Amino acid sequence: MRILVTAALLLPAVVFASSPFDGTWKTRMDSMKVSGKPDVFQITADGMYTCSSCFPELKLKADGADHATTGNPYHDSVAVRIISPTSVERIDKLHGKVMSTSTITVSADGSTLTGKFTDHTGAQVATGAFSETRVAAGAAGAHAVSGSWQLQQASDANEALRTVAYEMTPEHFSMHWNGQSYQAKFDGKEYPIEGDPGHTRVTLKKIDDNTVEETDHRQGKVTDEIRLAAAPDGKTVQVTDKDLQHGQTTTYTVEKQ
């Protein structure tokens, strides 16, 4: 009996060998690239804000007041405020709580948009910055930030935004990010992301020991198709996120800590 017990205690070390995904990772912000449809928004001369690339499309008065929205699980009101002829602020709320804030400013020549944001959907406030390049002009007479924009660079992300932890066994995969997490089996069933105010559910597929595909669902629809590919040396994971609702694909690298 003692031999059997000893063997049983040793078994997990053999069966559940370390996966290349196991550990804590941090995003390399300089690796982030976005392709596909641009971000498109404008504020007309009469102060009406429209975001046609948002899902669903937003249209509201840019008067700084909270305006009710529907269809997006991460906000039920949005406030847009014109700060200056070159800057605009947006605040998204859900049940009265701020979910995210962003401030965007256009360059003097109108070709570059820079922004800062805060994300309140996790346990800690996540912050970052970005710059976008103009790909189309806004309507005549519209505010300077109006037009179509493509991400050029992401930067200045804090630890809350950059840090994620993964773990994989032969049967399941887990993710922990800023108070949000899931434990999901490779069985095609949907599992909730705990702590996510948008109530995202995931299904997972194991391609091989170094590759996992995640499909995100919200409000009964597939929203994202995400591929996680661990490098053979176990030092990096390449993430490819295909955002089906916005028609954009984001790729970036996370590094083992």
Within this chain, do residues 61 and 139 fall inside the same structural domain, yes or no?
yes
Of residues 55, 129, 124, 123, the one with CA closest to residue 92: 55
Residue 228 belongs to some domain of the structure: yes
Last residue in a domain, options 127, 159, 191 = 159
Last residue in a domain, options 141, 159, 177 = 159
Domain count, the chain: 2
pLDDT tens per residue across span 101-121: 999 999 999 999 999 999 999
Last residue in a domain, options 132, 159, 186 = 159
Given this model, what pLDDT does residue 18 score?
Answer: 87
Q: What is the DSSP string of 137-190?
A: E--TT--TT-EEEEEEEEE---HHHHEEEEEE-SSEEEEEETTEEEEEESSS--
Given this model, what pLDDT does residue 17 score?
Answer: 55
Given this model, what pLDDT does residue 245 score?
Answer: 94
Segments of the chain with pLDDT less than 70: 1-17
What's the whole-model pTM score?
0.90
